[in-house]
Chain A
Amino acid sequence: MEFQGRTWKFGADVDTDAIIPARYLNTSDPAELAKHCMEDADPEFPSKVKPGDIIVAEKNFGCGSSREHAPICIKAAGVSCVIARSFARIFYRNAFNIGLPILESSEAVDGIDEGDEVKVDVDNGIIYNVTKGTSFKSTAIPPFMQELIDAGGLINYVRGRLNR
Chain B
Amino acid sequence: MGMTITEKILAAHAGKKTVTPGELISSKVDIVLGNDITAPVAIKEFEKIGVPDVFDKEKVVLVPDHFTPNKDIKSAEQAKMLRSFAKKQGLTNYFEVGRMGIEHCLLPEQGIVLPGDVVIGADSHTCTYGALGAFSTGVGSTDMAAGMASGEVWFKVPESIKFVYNGDELNEWVSGKDLILHTIGDIGVDGALYKAMEFTGPAIRNLSMDGRFTMANMAIEAGGKNGIIEPDQTTIDYVESRAKRPYKVYSSDDDAIYDAVIEYDVSQIEPQVAFPHLPENSRPVSEAGNVEIDQVIIGSCTNGRMEDLRIAAKVLKGHKVHPDVRLVIIPGTQEIYKQAMKEGLFEIFVDANAAVSTPTCGPCLGGHMGILAKGERAIATTNRNFVGRMGHPESEVYLSNPAVAAASAIMGRIAAPGEVE
Contacts and interface: CB of A to CB of B under 8 A. Distances in A.
Contact of A88 (B51, B66, B223): B223
Contacts of A155: 45, 48-49, 142, 145-146
Contacts, number: 142
Contacts of B146: 154-155, 157-158
B225 A67 contact: no
Contacts of A25: 37, 66-67
B396 to A, nearest CB: 13
Contact of A66 (B124, B156, B387): B124
Given A161-B150, A162-B49, A86 B40 contact: no
A22 B140 contact: no
Contact of A93 (B41, B143, B384): B143
A64 interface: yes
A65 B124 contact: yes
Interface string B41-69: 10011001111000000000000001100
A68 B142 contact: yes
B365 interface: yes
Q: In this complex, which of A43, A60, A154, A158 has the most chain B Cβ atoms within 10 angstroms of its Cβ?
A: A158
B154 A144 contact: yes
B190 A13 contact: yes
B150 A64 contact: no
Given A90-B139, A94-B142, A65 B40 contact: no
A40 B387 contact: yes
Interface in B159-176: none
Given A90-B124, A162-B150, A60 B223 contact: yes
Interface string B376-412: 0000000010111100010000000000000000000
Given A15-B386, A17-B387, A64-B124, A26 B366 contact: no
Q: In this complex, which of A23, A64, A71, A159 has the most chain B Cβ atoms within 10 angstroms of its Cβ?
A: A64
Contacts of A75: none
Given A64-B384, A155-B45, A159-B50, A22 B367 contact: yes
Nearest to B121: A66
B122 interface: yes
A60 B51 CA distance: 36
A60 B71 CA distance: 32
B140 to A, nearest CB: 4
Given A67-B37, A93-B140, A93-B143, A88 B365 contact: no
A22 B193 contact: no
B24 interface: yes
Q: In this complex, which of A27, A68, A159 has the most chain B Cβ atoms within 10 angstroms of its Cβ?
A: A68
A13 B278 contact: yes
Nearest to A90: B138
A44 to B, nearest CB: 13
A6 interface: no
A119 interface: no
Interface in B120-139: 122-124, 126, 138-139
Contacts of A64: 124, 220, 384, 386
Contacts of A40: 387-388, 393
B360 to A, nearest CB: 13
A89 interface: yes
A26 B70 CA distance: 10
B387 A18 contact: yes
Contacts of B139: 66, 90, 93-94
Contacts of A97: 140, 142-143
B365 A17 contact: yes
B71 to A, nearest CB: 8
B138 A66 contact: yes
B150 A158 contact: yes
Interface in A64-108: 64-69, 71-72, 86, 88-90, 93-94, 97-98
A59 B71 CA distance: 35
A27 B143 CA distance: 19
A153 B142 CA distance: 9
B189 A158 contact: no
B149 interface: yes
Q: In this complex, which of B66, B141, B149, B194 has the most chain A Cβ atoms within 10 angstroms of its Cβ?
A: B141
Given A13-B189, A86-B193, A89-B193, A65 B365 contact: yes
B50 to A, nearest CB: 6
Interface of B: 24, 37-38, 40-41, 44-45, 48-51, 66-67, 71-72, 74-75, 78, 122-124, 126, 138-143, 145-146, 149-150, 154, 156, 189-190, 193-194, 220, 223, 225, 278, 365-367, 384, 386-389, 393
Given A89-B225, A162-B150, 5 more contacts: A25-B37, A26-B74, A68-B122, A86-B193, A142-B156
**Leading 7 A-B pairs by shortest Cβ distance:** A94-B140, A26-B74, A68-B140, A97-B142, A66-B124, A60-B190, A22-B365
7 contacts: A21-B393, A27-B74, A60-B189, A66-B38, A67-B140, A68-B141, A163-B51
